[in-house]
Amino acid sequence: MEPVRIFDTTLRDGEQSPGVTLVPQEKLAIARAMEELGVDVLEAGFPIASPGDAEAVRLIAQSVREPIIAALCRTRLIDIEAALRALEPAAKPRIHIVIATSELHMRTKLRMTREQVLEEIERSVTTARKYVDDVEFSAEDATRSDPAFLEEVFKLAEACGATTVNIPDTVGYTVPEAMGQLVRRIKSVLKPETIVSVHCHDDLGLAVANTLAGVQAGAGQVEVAMNGIGERAGNCSLEEVVMALITRQDYFQRSVGIRPQHLYRISQMVSRFTGMVVPPNKAIIGDNAFAHESGIHQDGILKDRRTYEILDPDQVGAPKSRLVLGKHSGRHAFVERLKALHIHAGPEMQERLFQRFKELADQKRYVSDADIEALYHNEVGVATQQPKLEAFQVQVGTRVIPTALVEVADAGEVGRRAIEVATGDGPVDALFQAVCRAFETEAELVEYRLTPVGGGPDAQGEVFVQVRRGEDTAYGRGLSTDILAATAQAFTQAMARLVRARQEVAAS
Ligand code: KIV
Ligand code: ZN
């Protein structure tokens, strides 16, 4: 059976979701998880975009050896040089070059003629091929480009050494039949060994259907993102395409090298790191994907699960609520549980997690798998975050104005300790105002979300916040059995990221 290569772009296109910024350690954790999942290609970032992006690509290239590691570039030489530097430690590097080919993009955005675009392709692909054997070329806005010009573009990219050519439906405009026709047309003018890829956005909710139509027409690679995150309405969902190909292999007659039992866990990780909630009714990984409400369905399921389920939750690693560890559990059991949960923590991280687990076990009777995963996701963010919330205090009640005090170490710059007090409409607002003062930065609170983790009356509270200043937005999260502590942590993380993003822009 012909394979379909899975190209994951969660860390590049996925990170382009409005308001999402992942720190390098979070990207590395996702990249390692993607390696376990078995993706063929991992697009680690766009190195020229920022020093943080370049650092993340390099970190991933050093540590993730199994998949091909791709870095995105425009046709400019400085982009290719930045990508080559970041990919230098990679076992299997890929340079991914993109330029737009639709009349609209060429005329208004690039201000280039067709001839100039062809020259750019020839120069950039030829240059990249001097340094790496694996070059992908993408024709941005391909589905709104003149198909005859697209043939010329891809033939040129192939002749200059591109090994994969990608057809992006950049604005989610195409429909399945048209995508199938386009893939067949492009394949017919290229060598059989050149891989044709599809990259679909979800503006009309057709990304998965269009991608599968591409596969049926012979595409050898699909570009997807976990939970379907990405620009605007997002990218094609990795989990949906993969499970469609696996579940209906009888129909598609194509194989994938994915180990789907990791899907649920990675989906949770991506959701936490990005702050983008998975809707409960989302296929494959949503909370309700395997829930049955009506009596008739429940009756059917009890008699034979297959009456209303085409997938087994085990197949995608959907959790069984197990209450496993408590305050008497030792380090060994804890480390074993980390392994079982596929949490790759070095000795220092293990120690920090064990301390956090012990603190938590003092506060609640049982610590569930969901608690441990949340602790881990929280610590990954904390580990890379310089400023630290040292202490906080909140005063509330019917006869006092809500007032908060925070003490933040390394606020805005290393060595700067800030102790600030502020009042607000309520305890959350007072904490937010105090943290903003600690960072000497005004900001607006765009979103505040509190979710229980682990269940039960002693559940931990997980807080997600999004803050904005001008054009810049940043997410933060906090986790604690005390929801105000979780709130103060989340504000500190978000403000630290906001300030760091501004400092990075100022430095570049
Ligand atoms: O949507 C798009 O066109 C892209 C390209 C960079 C492949 O993301
Ligand atoms: Zn895209």
Residue 123 within any structural domain of the chain: yes
Give yes or no: residues 308 and 327 share one domain. Answer: no
CA of 156 to the centre of ligand 1 (A): 19
Give yes or no: residues 62 and 93 share one domain. Answer: yes
- Residue of 8, 110, 199 to test ligand 1 pocket, by largest number of atoms within 8 Å of CB: 199
Q: What are the two backbone dihedrals, phi and then psi, of residue 476, each rounded to the nearest 5 degrees?
A: -145, 155
Q: Could you identify the atom of ligand 1 that is nearest to the CA of residue 223? A: 7
- Residue of 75, 201, 202, 235 to test ligand 1 pocket, by largest number of atoms within 8 Å of CB: 201
CA of 101 to the centre of ligand 2 (A): 14
Burial 310-332 (b: 16+ CB within 10 A, else e): ebebeebbbeeeeeebeeebeee
Each residue of 429-453: pLDDT tens digit? 999 999 999 999 999 999 999 988 8
Nearest to 490 by CA among 412, 498, 271: 498
Residue 440 within any structural domain of the chain: yes
Only one residue has tokens 């607006």, namely 444
Give yes or no: residues 121 and 262 share one domain. Answer: yes
478 lines ligand 1 (CB under 6 A): no
Burial 350-368 (b: 16+ CB within 10 A, else e): bebbbebbeebbeebebbb
Give yes or no: residues 390 and 375 share one domain. Answer: no
- Identify the domain containing residue 484 by its residue range: 386-507
Give yes or no: residues 401 and 367 share one domain. Answer: no
Residue 432 within any structural domain of the chain: yes
Structural domain ending residue among the three candidates 298, 318, 338 = 318
Q: Please name the residue whose Cα sits nearest to atom 6 of ligand 1.
A: 98
CA of 496 to the centre of ligand 2 (A): 29
CA of 186 to the centre of ligand 1 (A): 18
The answer to whether 421 and 431 have CB atoms below 8 angstroms apart is no
98 lines ligand 1 (CB under 6 A): yes
What six digits make up the tokens of 100?
A: 């737009």
Total number of domains in the chain: 4
Residue 361 within any structural domain of the chain: yes
Q: Could you identify the atom of ligand 1 that is nearest to the CA of residue 141? A: 3
CA of 170 to the centre of ligand 2 (A): 5
Residue 186 sits in a domain of what CATH number? 3.20.20.70
Residue 280 within any structural domain of the chain: no
Structural domain ending residue among the three candidates 359, 382, 405 = 382
Residue 284 within any structural domain of the chain: no
Give yes or no: residues 413 and 342 share one domain. Answer: no
Give yes or no: residues 312 and 329 share one domain. Answer: no
Give yes or no: residues 158 and 49 share one domain. Answer: yes
Low-confidence stretches of the chain (pLDDT < 50) are 321-323
**What pLDDT is recorded for position 393?**
97
Each residue of 12-47: pLDDT tens digit? 999 988 778 888 999 999 999 999 999 999 999 999
- Residue of 13, 46, 48, 232 to test ligand 1 pocket, by largest number of atoms within 8 Å of CB: 13
Q: Please name the residue whose Cα sits nearest to atom 1 of ligand 1.
A: 170
What six digits make up the tokens of 68?
A: 């091909």
Alpha carbon distance 291, 298 (integer Å): 9
**What pLDDT is recorded for position 242?**
98
Beta partners for residue 254, in sequence order = 2
Residue 432 sits in a domain of what CATH number? 3.30.160.270
170 lines ligand 1 (CB under 6 A): yes
